[in-house]
Amino acid sequence: MKCPYCGDENTRVIDSRPAEDGDSIRRRRQCDACNKRFTTYEKVETIPVFVIKKDNTREAYDRAKIEKGIMLSVRKRSVPLDKITDMIDDIENTIFNMDTKEIPSSVIGELIMDRLQKLDQVAYVRFASVYREFQDVDTFMAELQKILTRNEK
Amino acid at 32: D
Among candidates 131, 80, 83, 126, which has minimal Cα distance to 107? 131
Q: Is the pTM of this model over 0.75?
A: no
Task: State the DSSP code for 8.
Answer: -
Residue 73 near residue 116 (C-beta atoms within 8 A): yes
For residues 145 and 140, what is the distance between their CA atoms, to the nearest angstrom? Answer: 9
Helix, strand, or coil (residue 15): strand
Strand-pairing partners, residue 15, are 28
Instruction: Count CB-CB contacts under 10 A for residue 148.
Output: 10
Residue pLDDT, tens place only, 51-87: 999 999 999 999 999 999 999 999 999 999 999 999 9
113-129 residue pLDDT tens: 999 989 998 898 888 88
